[in-house]
Amino acid sequence: MSDPFDLAEVAPPPAGALAPAPYLNALNPEQRAAVEALDGPVLVLAGAGTGKTRVLTTRLAHLINMRRAWPSQVLAVTFTNKAAREMRERVAALLGGAVDGLWLGTFHATAARMLRRHAELVGLKPDFSILDQDDQLRLIKQVAEPMHLDDKRWPSRVLAAAFDRWKDRGLTPEQIGRAEAEHVADGKGGELYAAYQDRLRVLNACDFGDLLLHCITIFRAHPDVLGQWQRKFRYVLVDEYQDANVAQYLWLRLLAQQHKNLCVVGDDDQSIYRWRGAEVGNILRFEQDFPGATVIRLERNYRSTARILGAASGLIAHNRGRLGKTLRPADAGANDQGAPVEVRGVWDDEAEARLVGEDIEQLQRDGHPLKEMAILVRASFQTRSFEERLLTLGLPYRVIGGTRFYDRAEIRDAVAYLRLVNQPDHDLAFDRIVNLPRRGLGDTSLQALHRIARAQGISLTQAARRVLETDELRPQARRALRDFLAQLDLWRGKLVEMNHVALAETVLEESGYVDMWRVDKSPEAPGKLENLKELVRALAEFENLAGFLEHVSLVSDNEQQAGEDGVNLMTLHGAKGLEFDVVFLPGWEEGLFPHQRSLDEGEAGLEEERRLAYVGLTRARQRAYLSHAANRRVHGAWQSSIPSRFIAELPDEHVARTADSGLYAGHGRGGGLADPESVFAVPAPGSTWDTPGQRRARAFFAARNVTPPAPRENARLAANAAIAVGDRVFHQKFGTGRVLDRDGDKLDIDFQHAGRKKVFDSFVTKA
DNA sequence: GGGTCCCCGTTTTTT
DNA sequence: ACGGGGACCC
C-alpha cells in the first residue's frame, strides 16, 4: 500500500485565470450560497430531497476549478463506498474528467490510508490487516476465554458492542472511566478491552473502530505528524455529518484545525444510527464547536408532493432535539398538492401483504414501473410476508440488504485461505481454515498450537512449525499438520510467478475446499460453489492479491444489479438516500414501529424512531401508503397491537385514514369501513386490552389531552375476561377450539383444525 | 474428534 | 418458527 503522495508542504495553486463555472447556474440561491462559501467552517443543513449531493459535489468541483487547492489538498469523506463512488463520478462529470490525487473516500478507508503511514506509532506494522466483525468476535472470544467470564451473560457480541461504543467515543483502554469499565463483564470490562487491544497489536491487526481511534491517538501524541496532515488538507468536506460518531468528529476537528475550512453537510432529522454510536449532538453543536460557522439551510424540496412533505414535517415536529427546518415544495405555487398519505388498518400481516400487493398491481396498470415502488419495513423479518405475496402474484421484486457477498461463510473461508497465503502469520485466517475441510486437526491439536503460540509470543503458523519438531501431537495429527504447512509453502512459492487469479483457483482446488462443497449434498452447496466462482471473477478485477484483500476488508459490495424491473423491498435504514415514486410503509404499530427496544431506551430512542419514520415518508415522490395490522405473528406467536403513535401524529389535512371493519373494537362484523376514528379507540382500563402497548397508548393520549373515541363494543370485549378454562370458543383465524389454560389475558386453546395455540382472549368469542 | 440435541434470542448494520 | 451455538454424548 504505497501512497504516491508526499506529506511535504505544497503551496496551493496560484490564483490565476479561473475557468468559467457554468455549473453554478444549475443551483438555487441557497445551494449556490453553500457552494460558494468556501472559507471557514460551514454547516449545510440539507433536508431530504433538497439537493444535498448536488451541493457537495458542486462545491468540491468549484474548489478545484477555482484553484483554491490542489486536488491532493482536499479531503472529502463519506460513510459508504457507494456515496464516495457517486461523488467521484459526479465531480468528474462537472469538471469534464476524472480528478487525480483527491482524497475522497469513506471515513474508514481514508483513516486506514493515513494509518498505514504511521502504523509504527501505535505498535503496528504498515501492512496490518483489518478485521471485520466476524474476526473480531472470534478474537474477543479467545481473549475472554481465560478470564472465566459467564459467557451466557457476557457473550462475545455484547463485549464487542461495548468495545465498539468505546471506540466510537474515541476512548482507548486507558481513557475509559473506572465506573464505566466496571459495569461491563462483571468488573472486568476495562481489563478485557486492554487485553483485546494488546492481542490485536500482537496480530498486527485493527478492527474498524481502531482505524479512527489509532489516528486520533497518533495525532494527539505526535503534533508533528498531525501538523503535516493539517497543513496538507486545506479543505475538508463531510457528507451525512449527522451520522458521525465522536471519534469521527475528533478526527475531523483535529485535521481541520489549521485551515478551519471544514464543511459538513447533513440533516439532524435523518440521524438514524444512534445505536451504532452516531452522535446527533455533533451536528446540533456545530456552531459552538466551530465559532463563526456559516449555517445554510436547504429547505426547498425537489422530490415529494406538498402533502407528503406536510405529513413528514408534521410528524418530525414532534421531536424536541432538532435544529428545525421546514421542507417546502420547490414548486410552492403549484395547485396540485398531490394525493394524501394513505393510512390503512388491516386485520393481520397477511391482509397487509394482500392489500399492498393489490395496490402494486393497480399502480403498475396505471403506468408506474415496479422499480419505482418500494416497501420499506422496520425489521427485516417483515419482508417475508411481502415476498410470499409478490411471489404468488408473480410480481418481480428484489430484497435490498441482507447478507453481503463477503459475509457469506464460504467466501470468508476462501478469503481466509488467500489471506493466509499472503500473510503467513494471520492467526485468525489460520484458525478459520486449518481444519476446513476436515484434516483431522481437532480441538486438542489446535489448543496445543495456541498454547505454544501464546507462550512463545509467536504466530500459529510458526507454532505449527515448532510443534512438528516435537512429539507433542499424535502421529496422525502431526502428519496432517505437516502436509497442510507444506501446501501453504507451496502456494506461497507461487505468489511471485503465478498470476493471482490462477493462484486462487489452485489454492481452492488443492486445499480440497471446493471439493468439500462439491461433495456436499445440501441444497445450499451449488449456490456456494457459484459464489466461489464469483469470488474468483471478482479477484480478476484487481492487480494483485494484496489489493484485493484490502478491498475485501473495507468495501462491502452490496450493489444490486439495477436495470431489471422489480419492486424494492428493504428496511427503512437501508432506504436512506434513496427515492421512489411510491413508497409502502407497513407495520406502523406500537412495539414494532416505534420498536419496543427503542421505547425502552426512553425519549432519545423514541425520537430516533420518529426520525426513521420521517426518513421513510420522505423517500416518496408521489405516493405514500402506511398500514398497520391488528394482529401479527412475531417469533411464532400471534400478537395483537394498536396503531403506531406516529399515525396519530400525522397532520389530518394531509392524510386519509381508513380501516377494515371493527378492527380495534371487536371484530368479525362484516361490511363497509369503520368510522376512521375507531382505529384510535382505546378501551377502558381493566378491559382485556390491558397490554403494555395499550398502557403506553393510553398514557400517550392522556399526555396530549386527547380523548380517544370510546370503543363500540366494549361490553363484548369485557365479556371475554369471563371466558374460562374448558369453554368452547371461536377465533376468526383458527376456528373453534376448547380453552385448556389461561395466563393473564392469554388463552391456551386447542383448536379443532389449527391445533394448540396461545391467543389473547380478546380475539375469541364464546362459541 | 465428530455428531446430536436443546436452548436462547430474535431491530436497525455504512465500515 | 427457526437458526446458531454450546453442551453433551458416543
Most confident range, picked from A121-125, A383-387, A442-446: A121-125
pLDDT band at A519 (very low <50, low <70, confident <90, very high): confident
Over residues A162-168, mean pLDDT: 94
Over residues A418-440, mean pLDDT: 89
What pLDDT does residue A187 have? 84
List pLDDT tens digits, range A52-104: 999 999 999 999 999 899 999 999 999 999 999 999 999 999 988 888 999 99
Is A326's pLDDT higher than 90? no
- Residues 341-370 in A having a C-beta less than 7 A from any atom of strand C are none
Positions of chain B reached by protein Cβ under 7 A: 1-2, 8-15
Over residues A419-430, mean pLDDT: 90
pLDDT band at A240 (very low <50, low <70, confident <90, very high): very high
In this structure, are residues A229 and A259 in contact, taking their beta carbons and an 8 Å threshold? Answer: no
Measuring from the CA of residue A155 to each C1', which nucleotide is nearest? C5
**Residue with the larger pLDDT of the pair A520 and A646:** A646
Measuring from the CA of residue A477 to each C1', which nucleotide is nearest? B1
pLDDT band at A530 (very low <50, low <70, confident <90, very high): confident
Measure CA to C1' and name the residue nearest B11.
A379
Nearest CA-CA partner of A743 in A764, A716, A761: A761
- A690 Cβ neighbours under 8 A, 6+ residues apart: A745
**In A120-263, where does DSSP find H-type helix?**
133-144, 156-168, 178-182, 189-202, 208-221, 223-232, 246-256
Spatial separation of the C-alpha atoms in residues A293 and A291, rounded to whole Å: 5
**Residue with the larger pLDDT of the pair A671 and A312:** A312
Is A377's pLDDT higher than 90? yes
Over residues A527-541, mean pLDDT: 87
pLDDT band at A508 (very low <50, low <70, confident <90, very high): very high
Is A580's pLDDT higher than 90? yes
pLDDT band at A668 (very low <50, low <70, confident <90, very high): very low
**Residue with the larger pLDDT of the pair A738 and A112:** A112
Measuring from the CA of residue A404 to each C1', which nucleotide is nearest? B13
Peptide bond into A437 cis (omega under 30): yes
Nearest CA-CA partner of A38 in A24, A59, A54: A59
Spatial separation of the C-alpha atoms in residues A697 and A691, rounded to whole Å: 10
Over residues A391-406, mean pLDDT: 86
Could you give the percent of chain A with pLDDT greater than 70? Answer: 84
Spatial separation of the C-alpha atoms in residues A211 and A222, rounded to whole Å: 17
Question: Straight-line distance from CA A457 to C1' B12, in Å?
Answer: 40
- 3-class SS at A745? coil
pLDDT band at A610 (very low <50, low <70, confident <90, very high): very high
Measuring from the CA of residue A137 to each C1', which nucleotide is nearest? C5
- 3-class SS at A442? coil
A97 touches strand C (CB under 7 A): no
Is A653's pLDDT higher than 50? yes
Going by the DSSP 8-state scheme, the letter that residue A678 receives in this structure is G
* Sign, CA torsion A701/A706/A709/A715: positive
- A17 Cβ neighbours under 8 A, 6+ residues apart: none
What pLDDT does residue A724 have? 67
Catalytic residues of A: 52-53, 239-240, 270, 619
Most confident range, picked from A350-359, A627-636, A670-679: A350-359
Measuring from the CA of residue A570 to each C1', which nucleotide is nearest? B12
Nearest CA-CA partner of A699 in A650, A658, A642: A642
Over residues A318-337, mean pLDDT: 85
Number of Cα atoms under 13 Å in the Cβ half of residue A131: 26
Number of H helices, E strands in chain A: 31, 23
Question: Straight-line distance from CA A307 to C1' C6, in Å?
Answer: 54
Measuring from the CA of residue A78 to each C1', which nucleotide is nearest? B14
**DSSP secondary structure string, A693-728?**
HHHHHHHHHHHTT--PPPPTTHHHHHHHTT--TT-E
Peptide bond into A594 cis (omega under 30): yes
What pLDDT does residue A3 have? 39
**Residue with the larger pLDDT of the pair A746 and A767:** A746
**Is residue A568 within a helix (H) or strand (E), and if so which, with residue range?**
strand A567-571
Most confident range, picked from A132-141, A446-455, A524-533, A575-584: A575-584
Is A735's pLDDT higher than 80? no
In this structure, are residues A203 and A429 in contact, taking their beta carbons and an 8 Å threshold? Answer: no
A148 touches strand C (CB under 7 A): no
Is A719's pLDDT higher than 50? no
What pLDDT does residue A135 have? 87
Measure CA to C1' and name the residue nearest C2.
A635
pLDDT band at A613 (very low <50, low <70, confident <90, very high): very high
pLDDT band at A440 (very low <50, low <70, confident <90, very high): confident
Is A351's pLDDT higher than 90? yes
**Residue with the larger pLDDT of the pair A521 and A394:** A394
Least confident of A132-146, A484-498, A742-756: A742-756
Is A686's pLDDT higher than 50? no
pLDDT band at A717 (very low <50, low <70, confident <90, very high): very low
What pLDDT does residue A697 have? 44
**DSSP secondary structure string, A146-182?**
GGT--TTTS-HHHHHHHHHHHHHTT--GGGS-HHHHH
What pLDDT does residue A288 have? 93
pLDDT band at A228 (very low <50, low <70, confident <90, very high): very high
Is A269's pLDDT higher than 70? yes
Question: Straight-line distance from CA A735 to C1' C5, in Å?
Answer: 38
Going by the DSSP 8-state scheme, the letter that residue A595 receives in this structure is B
Nearest CA-CA partner of A744 in A695, A665, A688, A697: A688
What pLDDT does residue A683 have? 37
Least confident of A315-329, A378-392, A394-408, A726-740: A726-740
Averaged confidence pLDDT in chain A: 85
Question: Straight-line distance from CA A464 to C1' C10, in Å?
Answer: 30
Positions of chain C reached by protein Cβ under 7 A: 1-2, 6-7
Least confident of A232-241, A516-525, A552-561, A626-635: A552-561
Question: Straight-line distance from CA A679 to C1' B14, in Å?
Answer: 38
A523 touches strand C (CB under 7 A): no
pTM: 0.82
Is A415's pLDDT higher than 80? yes
pLDDT band at A341 (very low <50, low <70, confident <90, very high): very high
- 3-class SS at A301? strand
In this structure, are residues A623 and A583 in contact, taking their beta carbons and an 8 Å threshold? Answer: yes
Least confident of A319-328, A525-534, A757-766: A757-766
A151 touches strand C (CB under 7 A): yes
List pLDDT tens digits, range A451-475: 888 888 888 999 999 988 888 888 8
Most confident range, picked from A41-50, A329-338, A455-464: A41-50
**Residue with the larger pLDDT of the pair A464 and A729:** A464
Question: Straight-line distance from CA A149 to C1' C8, in Å?
Answer: 21
- 3-class SS at A73? helix
Is A186's pLDDT higher than 90? no
Least confident of A131-135, A188-192, A672-676: A672-676
pLDDT band at A726 (very low <50, low <70, confident <90, very high): low
Question: Straight-line distance from CA A488 to C1' B8, in Å?
Answer: 39
pLDDT band at A496 (very low <50, low <70, confident <90, very high): confident
Is A169's pLDDT higher than 50? yes
A134 touches strand C (CB under 7 A): no
